[in-house]
Structure 1
Amino acid sequence: MSRPKGSVNKKPKLSVVGGGASPGPGHNKSAEQLNDDQLQALTRQHAAKRAKLLDTEKKAKADRMNFDKVIKSDLGSTGLANIKLLEDLETPEGEARIKADMERQAMVARWAGLAIGTQGALFDTDRRPIEDRAFDDGKRDGMSGKTLAPPHAPDTVAYGRYVEGWHAGQALNAAGIKQKPPAAELLRKEGVEATGKPDEFDGAADGTGSVAGEQPDADDKPWPDDASIAAGKSAGPSATL
């Protein structure tokens, strides 16, 4: 149907959903545009949220340090280093770096007169039959909890051997390995509340990585924010804000 001559085509006005709600302090404004009360309110909101994030971050680090002590108790003094080495070897970059470092060490050891083999490279090609390598690969993947996915054609011997190895690795995991209780106490036992006095748990949580009887790992660096806070406390109440 045609529009009558002289009529105006008026489009309905659209309203913003929730447009009646007043924006919070600092909404779509820069800090310079906020008044004193708005700036203080927004600052306190962000401070509260940041404090929760820091608590979560510190708790996660303390939990990780607790588990590192369990690893060392179960696997020995080199257990944690072995785990980190395995993690490095999972990447091509880490594998290349470790190989280069081991070959360098072998070279220097030979210079020092140690009986280091001189025939061929330190890392030679695996010359075992493919079915033997397939079994070991499957066993390793089974112990690691990886999905059963043989990298061989289904109609080959290597395929079957990989599957056998994978199930062997899974069986080891299912059987479990009984360990004696950790010889070392955890930083703070689960369910034990803080007494108000500083303990090893607090040492771990404040980012110093202080655990009785051991040095912090190279990656256990102090929290930058905690270092700043500690510096502010040492200045005393007369410190200028």
Structure 2
Amino acid sequence: MSNIGHNSISDEDRRNLFFVHRHHYLKALAVKKAADSALKNVGKSVKADLGPNGLDQIKLYEKAKTDEGLQAIKDEIESHRQALAYADIPVNTQIDLFDMTAKFDEKAYKAGLTAGLEGETMINPYNEATQDGQDWGRGWHEGQGILFEGIKKKEQPEPESELIKQPDHGEPDFPDAEAA
């Protein structure tokens, strides 16, 4: 009776498979290390450009895009509000970051702007013949412009500092050490 996962193969075949799998593992590990390094560099760039909380903001933004994530954020904000109240820090109003204060006619524009900034394909959720459809498209184009302008700025090399150069006066008039 053979055990689950046990293959009846020769020791030589098993040894060969060991080295094949070792090769695949090491290759995948190298890819993982390179990806980890690239992710760390992105984090450093975010911190340099957006400050120490920039990466947290990006993560929070992504989390808020799901219903579960949004609820978790609301719960955490309420928990923070309670903790501040317990510490006798005056919090006179309930924090409501999710109040839709944007005018209704700006909603389509802002949604398009966000889609453009996220680099999404232009798939207008509104009928393009309506005002909302036109506003969404205008926002998307503006977001794309901002995104690509930012990408161009990040891809431009840093200007090299110029060294102060003295004019070339030919060979110096120092006597050779051998001639002395």
- TM-score, length-scaled by structure 1: 0.54
Structure 1 residues 99 and 35, CA gap change in structure 2 (3 angstroms)? same
Name the SS of the counterpart of 1:176 in structure 2.
helix
**Structure 1, gaps ≥5 residues long:** 1-28, 183-241
> Could you say which residue in structure 2 is the equivalent of 1:41?
16
- Larger helix fraction of residues: 2
Quote the sequence identity (%). Answer: 28
Distance 1:87 1:133 in 2: 19
CA-to-partner distance for each residue in 1:91-124, whole Å, 9 max, x for gaps?
2211110111112211222333333233x66245
1:150–1:114 distance in 2 versus 1, CA, 3 Å: farther
Provide closer, same or farther for how the CA distance between residues 115 and 164 of structure 1 changes in structure 2, counting only shifts above 3 A.
farther
One-letter amino acid matched to 2:147: N
> Which amino acid letter does the alignment assign opposite residue 109 of structure 1?
L
Aligned position for 2:61: 86
Superimposed CA distance per residue, residues 201-224 of structure 1 (whole angstroms, 9 cap, x where no aligned partner): xxxxxxxxxxxxxxxxxxxxxxxx
Counterpart position of 1:22: none
Q: 1:40 to 1:99 in 2, by over 3 A?
A: same
Q: 1:143 aligns to what?
A: 117
- What is the Cα-based RMSD across aligned positions, in Å? 2.8
In structure 1, which of residues 158, 165, 170 is the aligned counterpart of residue 144 of structure 2? 170
Which residue is equivalent to 1:26?
Answer: none
Structure 1 match to 2:32: 57
Gap change, CA 1:125 and 1:104, over 3 Å in 2: same
Alignment of 1:199-214 (within 5 A): none
Of the three residues 32, 51, 62, the one matched with 1:76 is 51
Structure 1: how far apart are the matches of 2:148 and 2:11?
A: 63
Report the count of equivalent residues. 152
Q: TM-score, normalised by structure 2?
A: 0.70
CA distance in 1, matches of 2:119, 2:75: 29
Q: 1:153: Cα distance to partner?
A: 3.7
Runs of at least 5 residues in structure 2 that lack an aligned partner in the other structure: 159-180
Q: CA deviation at 1:88?
A: 0.8
Shift of 1:155: 4.4
The separation in 2 between residues aligned to 1:39 and 1:140, in whole angstroms, is: 54
